[in-house]
């Protein structure tokens, strides 16, 4: 077996101990005589799995009691529609556009009401985050929508927009569980699980109770937060195996890493290793304003598209895969989510130094 260092933006690496547990339990979960993949979602054993997964998420993220948790199909992209369908009670919402996903979210919401793009960082190719304190939000906005970590451009919010009486909605697909989060600052948090939490196939929403129950009457049952949450994410067959895997990842964070404060320490150390090298290099370059640099997705370029291509090919050969940047921005991107070991980043930096020396 030769496992590579996988820098993919998603689906991405899972912690090795999690995969090993899944492997051990693959043919028989506990003494159930069957695999989790084969189990009725209505069985007592599975009920234990889904309940424990939610409980673990609540413990790890310290979710207050007045927030509900639901598991949804259709990935984060379906949340782009669910948020306005369920929350746009005034017919209006404020969106901050800081990259492709927040732009898609705003476009989707336009189908359901008036979307005001109150700030954007498009003027500098999404290399920064607009200062929330200088943005004029609307009093009659149903919510403010942000993408907290911009997976493609490698930026993140360091300060959250907060407006009295207007709930903050955040797409946290690529930063959830990377550091402690004060859930009470948000009305709703959602994330696709395939970046930092589990294999693909699901999104999770954490919703403040008072925001439930106001969906547009035409909202399909499957896209109604309340319907799914009232049924404890068992309105229909949920993505059973993905939920099980999410439970294993949460237990890894809880018991082996030691919680989100320690997770953040590790993530900061990995990111610093890479950014410090990028800043010292005359060959590679990171375009993001320092303050807003993501600790999950690190973008960089070499002096030319030809060298970018050469770099990605030689890196893959050496066991560092999926370093090619998103097709819309080019260059390179190293996604260093929770599961990427420190050693993976160390070795990548060594490889980059060698490549620089050979090609500068
Ligand atoms: C990956 C990603 C998405 C899209 O997720 P899907 O589950 O593929 O729909 C949305 N937002 C962010 C921030 C992402 O990183």
- Cα-based distances in Å from 210 to 122, 165, 356: 34, 12, 54
User: Which of 11, 73, 75 is the best mutation target for the ligand 1 pocket, counting ligand atoms within 8 Å of the beta carbon and taking the most?
Assistant: 75
* 124-144 residue pLDDT tens: 999 999 999 999 999 999 999
Domain boundaries of the chain, sorted by first residue:
16-256, 259-359
State which ligand 1 atom lies nearest to the alpha carbon of 148. Answer: 13
User: Which residue positions in the chain have pLDDT lower than 50?
Assistant: none
Per-residue pLDDT tens digits for 230-274: 999 999 999 999 999 999 999 999 999 999 999 999 999 999 999
- Report, at the CATH architecture level, how domain 16-256 is classified: 3-Layer(aba) Sandwich (3.40)
The CA 172 to ligand 1 mean position distance, Å, reads 9
For residue 148, give the nearest of 170, 166, 132 by alpha carbon: 170
**Integer angstrom CA distances of residue 170 from 53, 80, 119, 241:** 21, 11, 15, 26
> How confident is the model at residue 64, as a pLDDT?
98
**Residue 107 CA, ligand 1 centroid: distance in Å:** 15
Q: Cβ(83)–Cβ(143) under 8 Å? A: yes
Q: How many angstroms is it from 206 CA to the middle of ligand 1? A: 16
Q: Which CATH number fits domain 259-359: 3.90.1150.10, 3.10.129.10, 3.30.460.20, 3.40.50.300?
A: 3.90.1150.10
Nearest CA to ligand 1 atom 2: 173
For atom 14 of ligand 1, which residue has the closest CA?
173
- Closest residue CA from atom 13 of ligand 1: 173
Q: Which atom of ligand 1 is nearest to the CA of 101?
A: 11
Within a 13 Å sphere around the CA of 158, how many CA atoms are in the beta-carbon half? 13
Q: Are residues 206 and 189 in contact, defined by beta-carbon separation less than 8 angstroms? A: yes
């Amino acid at each position: 077996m030769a496992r590579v260092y996988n820098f993919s933006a998603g689906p991405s690496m899972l912690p090795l101990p999690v995969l090993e547990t899944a492997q051990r339990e693959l043919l028989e979960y506990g003494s159930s005589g069957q695999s989790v993949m084969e189990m009725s979602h209505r069985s007592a054993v599975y009920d234990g799995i889904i309940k424990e997964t939610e409980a673990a998420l609540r413990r790890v993220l310290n979710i207050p009691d007045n927030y509900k948790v639901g598991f949804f199909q259709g990935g984060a992209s379906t949340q782009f529609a669910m948020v306005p369908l369920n929350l746009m009670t005034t017919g209006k919402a404020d969106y901050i556009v800081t990259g492709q996903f927040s732009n898609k979210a705003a476009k989707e919401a336009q189908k359901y009401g008036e979307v005001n793009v109150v700030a954007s960082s498009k003027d500098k190719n999404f290399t920064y985050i607009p200062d929330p304190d200088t943005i004029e939000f609307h009093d009659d906005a149903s919510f403010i929508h942000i993408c907290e970590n911009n997976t493609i451009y490698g930026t993140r919010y360091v300060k959250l927009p907060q407006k009295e009486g207007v709930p903050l909605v955040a797409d946290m697909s690529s930063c959830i569980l990377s550091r402690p989060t004060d859930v009470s600052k948000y009305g709703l948090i959602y994330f696709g699980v395939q970046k930092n939490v589990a294999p693909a196939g699901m999104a999770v929403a954490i919703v403040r109770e008072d925001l439930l129950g106001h969906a547009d009457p035409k909202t399909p049952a499957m896209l109604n937060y309340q319907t799914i949450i009232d049924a404890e994410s068992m309105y229909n067959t949920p993505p059973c195996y993905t939920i099980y895997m999410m439970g294993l990842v949460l237990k890894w964070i809880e018991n082996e890493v030691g919680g989100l404060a320690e997770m953040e320490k590790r993530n900061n150390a990995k990111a610093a290793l890479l950014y410090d090298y990028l800043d010292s290099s005359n060959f590679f370059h990171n375009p993001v304003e320092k303050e807003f640099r993501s600790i999950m997705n690190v973008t960089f370029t070499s002096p030319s598209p030809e060298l970018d291509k050469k770099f990605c090919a030689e890196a893959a050969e050496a066991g560092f895969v999926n370093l090619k940047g998103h097709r819309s921005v080019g260059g390179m991107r190293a996604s260093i989510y929770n599961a990427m070991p420190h050693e993976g980043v160390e070795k990548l930096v060594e490889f980059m130094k060698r490549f620089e020396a050979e090609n500068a």
